[in-house]
A and B are shown apart, each in its own frame.
Chain A
Amino acid sequence: KQEVTQIPAALSVPEGENLVLNCSFTDSAIYNLQWFRQDPGKGLTSLLLIQSSQREQTSGRLNASLDKSSGRSTLYIAASQPGDSATYLCAVREETSGSRLTFGEGTQLTVNP
């Protein structure tokens, strides 16, 4: 059964710092991996989706990488801002699970002014 782990569970950084969030998954037979942002009490907002054939995706200050063979993905946030404070979740879609996603528990990020 696929398991997705995110480390660290919580992270607090000063404004302006570059940071990396980690996501690992146990079964490398994935179709794609998606990073989401969730603000307190709200739904999930899709940030980036990486296909299994891709190595990375970029959107503004965000860069997500994927190493499928080692079961790892990272989300890099450049020049962090207080508005980046949120919980970041990764989710994998397996090759054999249709549209189903398996989620990690998230990393709670706080960016201090």
Chain B
Amino acid sequence: DVKVTQSSRYLVKRTGEKVFLECVQDMDHENMFWYRQDPGLGLRLIYFSYDVKMKEKGDIPEGYSVSREKKERFSLILESASTNQTSMYLCASSLWAAGPYEQYFGPGTRLTVT
């Protein structure tokens, strides 16, 4: 079974803090994704990575950055957390784009910025 884990289920941070969300997958997947999920807006793609040290912006990258130093790990960084970044953050992974491969999701991190 594919397993995608996220470092925290719940996180509370203060405005202005630098926040790191970690995601690890154990199936040697090339692709990794970060989404945020908000009521009424659905899931929106923040960033994705198709290989180590490679990244592409998604639909809402502003205020975020990412890091992928190892194939199994994809980090989302909030450089200076703001209250409008309070959300559910979901990480996903999949095999290389050329195949019909499913995306597998982690359990999510509920981030609250106060």
Contacts and interface: CB of A to CB of B under 8 A. Distances in A.
Interface of A: 31-32, 34, 36, 41-46, 49, 51, 89, 91, 98-101, 103-106
Interface of B: 4, 31, 33, 40-43, 45, 48, 50, 58, 88, 90, 92, 94, 97, 100-108, 110
Contacts of B31: 99
Contacts, number: 53
Given A49-B100, A49-B102, A51-B100, A99 B108 contact: no
Per DSSP, chain B at the interface is strand
A84 to B, nearest CB: 19
Contact of B42 (A32, A41, A104): A104
Contacts of B94: 99
Contact of B107 (A34, A42, A103, A106): A42
B103 A103 contact: no
B106 A43 contact: yes
